Structure 1
């Protein structure tokens, strides 16, 4: 064995320990936001998260939530302090095995000052302990945690993480997750991904439910549904676990309608894979809440959550298609900026039109004609909302969904079916587990189709008023553009 003398320099040791050296630029605070145009204080700068480990105990009778979240991250700059997005009462913070200082700034910024500054590239292990009643906590003017008659729901968009775990809360910083929750016996705790503990006895009267999401996931797509659920487990043809759950407060007719819809999720997922490319995650399913619990459905990753009222009038397969289409458009490929939300909602809405066409219930062309000519007359306020830049107050306006879907339908007519579906599959593959913006989508679509889309997208996404259908026939050959030109086209 050859023996060598290793000289460890101060810089090398500093990097190993995660300490900034004096020869470098002075450590600086990480920014309190991720640079989102609509939500400048959402997310944070200075670090990148790799994993969240969330361990909780929930008391349904009082809505008390206690626990600790461990965050594995790496510093992207020399850090003197950094922020986490979190609204609950914090009892302690540790960074790299040492107690850290922490203060609350505003209603959802937790400012953390490590005992030692952190060098760029160094690992970060952050442990935050907390104890609070989430339904009593107001941030940004509202309470997103939803207490229900038998438990609670942590399901919302874009703000939900603040009420149950600290995070870097922006879709551009995805991570894997472990979620483990202690609840009283007889109460279920459902979350994303694969179940690793299922009602495992912990001690008298309490059981633990644990879930693992091993694929990158945006913070708002992590969910928690606690309550009295009837649960089912199965396995898909590819070996993925399927978990579905239905709140027991649903009446028999609504529960039956919900099951006839949600239990088709595996079939619909496979159908969508034929349109958009391979399913990007390793688990499947869905959760149905009580009929008055939340009032909306959300594409929580691998396991969408549906409000029971969605099935009051019978089965609702179109809704299942919408939320499962988001697994590609919104979950695997997330928005680079919240202003690009049409890349989520317009695509999921168009998937509903494609399903209708496949099922013989109305072609995409018939639906597009109805939406354009009948559902929204030319003088409707609907046409004044710009899908490509709706504003934070209209993030989920109907125009983002339906005018977004119309944009895709007329893009399909402009470039032809072969190129259109090639564009969708290329987008989901190129941006898989990442994020994208409208200019980036345009650049890809132009590269595949050879069509200049400047005038088309300007008309459909960024111009008030009902678009002129004539612009959809202008198949102008695309000219090579520099990246600044592409970005400038929509700013």
Structure 2
């Protein structure tokens, strides 16, 4: 992931000089929260000293100027005594910061917005920080050449956040280990739609501009938060169980997408049978033009697709709602816990719907005969639990070899216990976070009479191709 330094704006420097230099009249008893959580691949992502519980984002977007105006109200709990804390924000111009309604000093350095509240914050204290900001949001080019952040589209914009792109459109604690609820309100020119996560609670038009208010009550990592702005065709339906299904499709993709999107209720029913109760209060999809984004992403409750998806991609992104969105990795090293489960869901769907069995798919990857890889050796480049670098967290070993780890568990545990593991893992860490050590310990606890050491050593952590399939 590229990083570009940003000079402190003149207004920020003047404000820092104008406001008091001490945090409170009674002296400093806290300490700075710290920038970055030392993630193995994105060490500056996230921040220490606090836990966010809710984001209230009020956004206004002008597509003609590609200009965003925002107000973020961030509710958090201090996890230590704090004299200052950091928020991640890349680009954009900060206009004002308050903490608990009082002006706060602040400064900028790269992606770090450092906030010094008027009064120190006590450990355990819940506090609100309000940041007003504006400007042209940035698009980030990842180390693997993928685009994320705030993407320009033919008729609006699309915000995609994996792994660090959400910091281009709102300030926050942008690491998957800190999840929160969200209220996202977006105002756009009349005729455009603004689609986000969760449920649409309000839509109103005044003075040629329309406001859309969305609410996501269940905890969400910032990288799966999204805003999609454009001239979408909107479909609102429900599954047989009454789950709301909200689908937004670019008109150019409507015909090609119709049949596959009609399968959402069927896929949801199949997924609940295999993975357990759905963890969220709505589902759906956003389908943009292929040139708007180069990849699909499991944005929570409303996956984004670059053009009409095929059925396997639909299954993959909906499976992520359990594995990745509800059970979220503690760090980006644990990315395989997202992608292996979603990839294995594709294999299970094929097995259950007249395609190859999972064993046949597994064997094809091991033998190098699968048509899904341009380079048959790519899946052996590094072990799933140890991506080579930040540029490799979305490469074949994380997906296909990770799915092969799950199949090795299935072979040893047996089908009945394996499905118990799939459902139990999702239930045990529902709306939480987990890492690879949590997963291996969970599997061993569910199957205490079997030894999984060879699977972990050869398939999960080992270099190269295991000697035996």
What is the TM-score with the length of structure 2 in the denominator? 0.90
Distance in 2, matches of 1:447 and 1:21, equals: 54
Equivalence for 2:263: 264
Equivalents in 2 of 1:379, 1:324: separation in Å?
27
Cα deviations by residue, 1:66-117 (Å, 9 ceiling, x for unpaired): 02010111111110000001112111100001011111112x1111111111
Aligned pairs (5 A) from 1:237-256? 237-250=240-253, 255-256=254-255
Cα deviation, residue 378, structure 1: 10
Give 1:388-467 correspondences, 5 Å limit: 388-390=385-387, 391-450=389-448, 451-467=450-466
Structure 2: distance between partners of 1:325 and 1:36: 25
Tell me the alpha carbon deviations over residues 128-178 of structure 1, each in whole angstroms, 9 at most, x when there is no partner.
000101147899998621111200010131112111111111111111000
Q: What displacement does 1:389 show?
A: 0.8
Structure 2: stretches of 5+ with no match in the other structure: 1-22
2:351 to 354, 357, 371: 357
Q: How much does 1:379 deviate?
A: 7.8
Q: Do residues 321 (structure 1) and 309 (structure 2) align?
A: no
Q: Tell whether 2:105 aligns with 1:105.
A: no
Match runs of 1:466-485 below 5 Å: 466-469=465-468
- 1:222 and 1:300 in contact (8 A); partners too: yes
Report if aligned partners of 1:298, 1:304 keep a CA contact under 8 Å in 2.
yes
Select the structure with the greater relative contact order (CA < 8 A; seq sep ≥ 6). 2
**1:214-293 → structure 2 map (5 Å cutoff):** 214-250=217-253, 255-293=254-292
Contact 1:63 1:135 in 2 (8 A): no
**SS of alignment partner, residue 249 of structure 1:** helix
Check whether the contact 1:378–1:465 (CA below 8 A) recurs between aligned residues: no
Q: Distance in 2 between matches of 1:76 and 1:428?
A: 27
The whole-number CA distance in structure 2 between the counterparts of 1:377 and 1:192 is 34
Alignment of 1:28-427 (within 5 A): 28-87=31-90, 88-106=92-110, 108-135=111-138, 144-198=149-203, 200-201=204-205, 203-250=206-253, 255-308=254-307, 310-311=308-309, 316-373=310-367, 374-375=369-370, 380-390=377-387, 391-427=389-425
DSSP-derived class of the 1:387 partner: coil
Question: What is the distance in 2 between the residues matched to 1:235 and 1:73?
Answer: 34
**Structure 1-normalised TM-score?**
0.86
Residue-by-residue CA offset, 1:362-416 (whole Å, 9 max, x unaligned): 1111111111112379982431222111131200001211111111112101111
Bigger Rg over Cα: 1
Structure 1: unaligned runs, 5 residues or longer: 1-18, 471-491
